Structure 1
Amino acid sequence: MDPRSSAQDVHRCDLCETAIVHSYCDFCHVNLCKPCVVDHISDGYDKHKIVPFQERRSTLIYPKCATHSHKNCDWQCKNCNDIFVCSSCTASEIHRGHIFIEVSEVYTTKKNAIADEANKLENVISPTYEEIALDLENQLADLDGGYEKLTTAMSKQGEQWHREIDIIINKMKAEISEIKVKHTDILQKHLDEIKQIQALIKQTLLAIDEIKKSTEVSPTIEYSSKIREFSKLPPKVKVTLPTFIPKPLDHEKLYNMFGQITPLSTAIEENVLSLNQPNTSVRELLDEPELVATIQTGYEKLLNVTYLNEDCFWTSGLTKDIKCFNIKGVLLHTISNKSEQRPSDIAVDSDGNLLFSDGISRTVKKVKNGQTEELIRLQGWTPGKLCVISDGDLLVTMFSDAKTQSKVVRYLGSTEKQTIQFDDEGKPLYSGNKNVKYITENRNHDICVADYEAGAVVVVNQNVNQNGKLRWRYIGHPSVTKKVPFNPIGITTDSQSRILTADYYNHCIHILDQDGQFLRYIANCDLKGPYGLCVDNNDNLFVSEHLNGNVKKIKFL
């Protein structure tokens, strides 16, 4: 083993190979002792960066420019599929008028996202798989005891029947053995699948760990997230143990009357992992919600707000511009709708891409890598509000051309999967006109719609059947709506499956439990016409105020 790199020895200078290392060239990646520092920089090369050894590898390693080999690429060109460019490239004719973003900014954002992924893999996904594996192992461990009880019961019955029944007993025991083999095989098969996925997660974590330690830009930016892949949990296996049902003694029908062994019963249940619920502990409502921040967006009339990440959020109003701000109120990005019309709503998909609906062109569009592409185009219907649900599908509220019907449609990409429009009696679930119908998914997978015209929050269970089943309606609470009718607008949910909806005219926000029971309302944060709502991963509430163009961040748990 090389003593200069051995963990059993101190680090040595890479030039003289004898003296103890003191400094480090963060450009050349060379260990240096004090005397050798002078020799190393004596070539006059102005790129050397000497830092204390403990602060080594703090400088980013930028890719070299393919056109100007003597320069590093500090930028990415958004108009050219995010290719790396240097400062000379940005001033060239080929990139005139293009939009550039600093590589360091992209690198930092990606690094943070990877760290967040590692946290989810380590603290949410991996423990979940461990619980599944432990449950399967416990089922396997309990098999012998369960099947031993069966054979014991059969033996007691056999003692009453004496020797003439021994043949039948042995035959039934053979059946039990065959069922046990099938039972074992079923559980072992699913356990093996879980173990394989756990191994892949460990490999991914190792790869992420290498990226976290590395300062190379390209591998970090090119890293493709595995969160969505691993979040699709395998079905939960429940295999019901057979039972032995003894019968009264009848010598004429010994075999049939001796007893009955129920067949092996295997049930598959949907197993859903929610990554938007990092804290599984019970979080109680604050007696007095706290106003954390007020962000001025510049919109004369603000409509929509949706959470992106790390205290960043998108907003839209009565203009064609969609703006992204951080919690300090700094404008980070602006995207304009090419149809020159205001977007009906905005949302963020599971990959962090912006989605928006355009009522004029009857489309839903996606913005990916700075480019806008059409995702859905409707005929005879106009899209309204959007919601990306836990499995990545998109919910779209829409109204008919005649403005007499409304419905909710679920999409996988551009493919329609489900339509929710009528209750069990064939009556419309939602008011027919084009008025606001914000939509969200609760943690228990209920679909919640704030129907402004109907003056109600309408909640359906999407898993009951293909059309959805009405669970309940909420039409306001007398303590809030004595003078002004309840007309809900924005709607969102928290990690405890509570539902929050904006009461525009009463300048407050109603909080309900998942069964529609009124809990309390938020009205002490000087709200002025609350409109759109969203909740971040830490259960902070973001409220868009229609009348003054502000977004307020509120702590309510």
Structure 2
Amino acid sequence: MHVENSLTHYCIPCDETVCCACVSSRHAQHQTADLVEYIKQKKIDISKHKIQIAAEHLPQLTKELEVLKQAKEVYQISADKVTSKAQERAELMKQVIDLVLDSQLSEIQKVKDRDLDTFIFRENEICFQIEDMKKIVADENGGENAESESDFNIISAEREMKQKLESFSISERSRPLPPKFIQGIDDMIPEISRLLGKVERVGEIDGGVTQRKSAAEVKVQIMNTVSCAKPGHKVTSICQTSSNDVIVAYNTQKSIDFIDRNGRKLKAKKLQFETQDITMNKKGDLFLTVNDSSLIYKMKTPGNPTQLYNGGPYKALGLCAQKNGNLAAALWKQEEGIIAIINSGGKLTETISYDRTGNKLFKKPYRICENSNGDLIVTDSALKTVTGVDPRRHRRFQYNGGTEAKNFIPIGVACDSSARIIVSNWKGNSVHLLTSDGEFFRFILSSRENVTYPHALSIDSLHRLWIAQKEKVVIVKYLK
């Protein structure tokens, strides 16, 4: 135990205050600083960092706001046009309905007039028959005093009378029935909808989420396919150089290849080791992790690699050259994973392993990249997640593959100029596009496009995506 007043120094890698005795003993190999001076410097650094972040983001945010306002105006105009079209369509339908109604009413009137004429004709006919009946009755009443007729005449007269009486009856079927108007009330709404038309949302705001889209629903153009190695070898890393070329590394051969933006091999550089991952900073310094090793190397191009850092007992996996000049390294041993922040001199300055609640962030962090908003994006092949850690080292999000959660092993990761995140799903044979908040946006490629075991990812200066698939690399244009 230390007396509180004796804690005069601060150990940066351990993130704790220490006494003078500990500085010269168990913290002797660590970077330490006077506690008061460290706090003062930390305040200054935080203030500078805030100013730097504000200076970097204000122009971009202002520009984005202006673009958004313009997009809003265009959207409003388009939406108003759709409203006008719907209203015009409804007005046209009213006019058509009026014309159809006039035609139907005219037809009904014709049928009505014809049937009423039939009724009048039958009425007149019956009136004439009534008069005949009255005459017959009168004749019969007057025949009581007439001379007796022969039997034959009587029978003939009876037959004639019977026929006349039968002809006086009117069949029900001879009477016209009024016309009917059959209205399909139950079908009225879908019928009108089919006539009027329908409203569809056919676009989406760039960077926003409307609905999940498959790769088949979005046009993705495969620009080129580069065969980088012999069958049996595997591309494990791709990085963009400061000269806009691309470097490809392998974990099965002791060399790296320099390739131009058109996919042509420029040269090869032999190494003394097989490579796990590579990254390059703004100065053009190349950093490499040795496959199945704890060593991290730094190499000037041209030049030979020199050891920068030994992460033992951890094995070094993924690397990311940060904008501030530091190097973020994904380190792993057994069931434990950390992100180590290493300065340009090769000294450990910070480790990231727990969130604010004390839960472990990583199990096997495999690849890492830095987003334009300062987040560190880490794929974890053991947890089968993609984790976003903000500049304050808080867990911002964790993505588990969305609809492919049961078939999701994330490997490669990259961030584009719009702060969107691209992840290769090695097991699901797909490439996911996420928002900066770690939400699924759409698929870039899937097994339908014959993607097989996508691994390393990189975005070049033309905003094209390079995707490693075993011994080859596919160059894809995925932005509109």
**Shorter-chain TM band:** 0.5 to 0.7
Give the Å deviation of 1:321.
1.2
Q: Does 1:555 align with 2:478?
A: yes
Counting matched residue pairs gives 279
Where does residue 497 of structure 1 map in the other structure? 419
Give the Å deviation of 1:335.
2.2
Look up the equivalent residue of 1:410 and give its one-letter code: I
Look up the equivalent residue of 1:456 and give its one-letter code: T
Judge conservation of contact 1:490–1:531 (CA < 8 Å) in 2: yes
Judge conservation of contact 1:293–1:554 (CA < 8 Å) in 2: no
1:262-411 matches, cutoff 5 A: 270-271=53-54, 273=56, 284=206, 287-299=218-230, 300-309=233-242, 311-317=244-250, 318-338=252-272, 341-360=273-292, 362-368=294-300, 369-400=302-333, 403-411=334-342
Give distance in 2, aligned partners of 1:498 and 1:389. 17
Q: Does 1:544 align with 2:475?
A: no
Give distance in 2, aligned partners of 1:493 and 1:508. 17
Distance 1:509 1:427, change over 3 A: same
Distance 1:498 1:364, change over 3 A: same
Match of 1:531 among 443, 446, 455: 455
Look up the equivalent residue of 1:476 and give its one-letter code: G
Judge conservation of contact 1:292–1:555 (CA < 8 Å) in 2: no
Judge conservation of contact 1:541–1:556 (CA < 8 Å) in 2: no
Q: Gapped runs of 5+ residues in structure 2?
A: 1-44, 68-204, 208-216
Q: Secondary structure at the match of 2:274?
A: coil
Give distance in 2, aligned partners of 1:375 and 1:528. 34
Judge conservation of contact 1:235–1:271 (CA < 8 Å) in 2: no
Give distance in 1, aligned partners of 2:362 and 2:293. 23
Give the Å deviation of 1:337.
2.6
Distance 1:324 1:268, change over 3 A: closer
Judge conservation of contact 1:293–1:327 (CA < 8 Å) in 2: no
Distance 1:311 1:273, change over 3 A: same
* Deviation per residue, 1:24-83 (Å, 9 max, x gap): xxxxxxxxxxxxxxxxxxxxxxxxxxxxxxxxxxxxxxxxxxxxxxxxxxxxxxxxxxxx
Judge conservation of contact 1:346–1:356 (CA < 8 Å) in 2: yes
Give distance in 2, aligned partners of 1:554 and 1:310. 20
Give distance in 1, aligned partners of 2:292 and 2:359. 29
Look up the equivalent residue of 1:437 and give its one-letter code: Y
Where does residue 458 of structure 1 map in the other structure? 387
Look up the equivalent residue of 2:453 and give its one-letter code: G
1:3-22 matches, cutoff 5 A: none
**Over alpha carbons, which structure has the higher Rg?**
2
Judge conservation of contact 2:242–2:283 (CA < 8 Å) in 1: no
* Deviation per residue, 1:420-446 (Å, 9 max, x gap): 001122221011x5xx61101111101
Where does residue 90 of structure 2 map in the other structure? none
Distance 1:268 1:522, change over 3 A: closer
Where does residue 445 of structure 1 map in the other structure? 374
Give distance in 2, aligned partners of 1:404 and 1:337. 30
Q: Secondary structure at the match of 1:344?
A: strand
Q: Secondary structure at the match of 1:371?
A: coil
Give distance in 1, aligned partners of 2:372 and 2:55. 10
Judge conservation of contact 2:225–2:472 (CA < 8 Å) in 1: no
Give distance in 2, aligned partners of 1:396 and 1:330. 30
| Length-normalised TM-score, structure 1 | 0.46
Judge conservation of contact 1:423–1:429 (CA < 8 Å) in 2: yes
Look up the equivalent residue of 1:293 and give its one-letter code: N
Where does residue 202 of structure 2 map in the other structure? none
Give the Å deviation of 1:273.
3.6
Give the Å deviation of 1:353.
2.3
Give the Å deviation of 1:377.
1.9
Match of 1:473 among 398, 403, 407: 398
Look up the equivalent residue of 1:419 and give its one-letter code: T
Give distance in 1, aligned partners of 2:263 and 2:455. 19
Give distance in 2, aligned partners of 1:235 and 1:361. 37
Match of 2:353 among 396, 413, 421: 421
Distance 1:396 1:349, change over 3 A: same
Give the Å deviation of 1:475.
0.5
Give distance in 2, aligned partners of 1:359 and 1:472. 29
Judge conservation of contact 1:448–1:457 (CA < 8 Å) in 2: yes
Give distance in 2, aligned partners of 1:269 and 1:375. 28
Give the Å deviation of 1:518.
0.8
Give distance in 2, aligned partners of 1:390 and 1:512. 22
| Length-normalised TM-score, structure 2 | 0.53
Judge conservation of contact 1:442–1:497 (CA < 8 Å) in 2: yes
Q: Secondary structure at the match of 2:355?
A: coil
Distance 1:515 1:284, change over 3 A: same
Look up the equivalent residue of 1:370 and give its one-letter code: G
Give the Å deviation of 1:311.
4.7
Judge conservation of contact 2:275–2:289 (CA < 8 Å) in 1: yes
Q: Secondary structure at the match of 1:376?
A: strand
Give distance in 1, aligned partners of 2:450 and 2:479. 14
Judge conservation of contact 1:508–1:523 (CA < 8 Å) in 2: yes
Give distance in 2, aligned partners of 1:272 and 1:396. 27
Give the Å deviation of 1:379.
2.8
Distance 1:329 1:515, change over 3 A: closer
Give distance in 2, aligned partners of 1:407 and 1:391. 20
Give the Å deviation of 1:360.
4.9
Judge conservation of contact 1:455–1:475 (CA < 8 Å) in 2: yes
Judge conservation of contact 2:224–2:263 (CA < 8 Å) in 1: no
Distance 1:520 1:427, change over 3 A: same
Give the Å deviation of 1:310.
5.4
Judge conservation of contact 1:455–1:485 (CA < 8 Å) in 2: no
Judge conservation of contact 2:430–2:454 (CA < 8 Å) in 1: yes
Distance 1:443 1:406, change over 3 A: same
* Deviation per residue, 1:68-114 (Å, 9 max, x gap): xxxxxxxxxxxxxxxxxxxxxxxxxxxxxxxxxxxxxxxxxxxxxxx
Distance 1:426 1:372, change over 3 A: same
Give distance in 2, aligned partners of 1:337 and 1:453. 29
Judge conservation of contact 1:440–1:449 (CA < 8 Å) in 2: yes
Where does residue 83 of structure 2 map in the other structure? none
Give distance in 2, aligned partners of 1:541 and 1:320. 25
